[in-house]
Amino acid sequence: MPTVHIEAKKEDIAKRVLMPGDPNRARYIAMKYLEDARIVNTLRGEFAFTGKYKGVDVTVFSSGMGIGSMGIYSYELFNDYDVEYIIRIGTAGSYDKDLKLYDLLLADSVYSKTYFDEEAGHENVEIINSSFDLNSVIMDTARIKNIKLKIGRVHTTESFYTENKDYSKFIELGCMAVEMETYALLFNAKKFMKHATALFTISDNLITHDEIDSISREKKLDEMIYLALESIIKK
């Protein structure tokens, strides 16, 4: 049954979901990688496509930007559509000068100083672990496919534009990179006892100030996409 935010029928959403932030990236992935891809959601401009990857049903569903948007969509996918596995695939800014553009980073945990946890679940938790099960599959797949993969904690921020350029606190907390959605995804996975993780392509380095352009953010992330697809079909 459709929700306030998702118009898809329950049977139109697969148990395995990849979640890019950008609707255009969702379309790109579906058109390039999925067989018999069909669009199942356009409501509020968040595109979802379901098709087959190597014979396995997969949905690619854009999350939009920020904790609030990811919080809504991951909640409804887990709770209303019985999704079991979600891999967020996105870009992140590096806090480490040795974590360079286009490097792949798998989140083993996420840190955030947000009120989302208290308002959504009446608890106070700043660090949440990713799914060990999903991460093990992704690491094994990367090894088999000879894909270089770094693993570490990410920082989910609620403010993209910030005047505070002192990242030392986040580095001391073990954060290797910053992004805007993973905390909400892992919070909801924990809440509903589902499996979720996040896989990133480094799009900019906040220490060296290197960055990739907007077109590359949409269409030159294929190594990450391929790894996520090859991994999620094993679940």
Cβ-contact 74, 188 below 8 angstroms: yes
Q: On the CB side of 17, how many CA atoms lie within 13 Å of its CA? A: 32
Let me know if 57 is a catalytic residue.
no
Q: Say which residues have a Cβ less than 8 Å from residue 120's Cβ, sequence separation at least 6.
A: 71, 187, 191
Nearest to 224 by CA among 154, 150, 160, 174: 150
Measured distance CA(218)–CA(198) in Å, rounded: 17
Q: What angle do CA 151, 73, 119 make, to 5 degrees?
A: 85
The pair of three-digit structure tokens given for residue 5, joined into one six-digit string: 């935010």
Q: What is the largest CA-CA distance in the chain?
A: 48
Among the listed residues 82, 204, 210, 222, the single catalytic one is: 204
Catalytic residue numbers, as ranges = 204
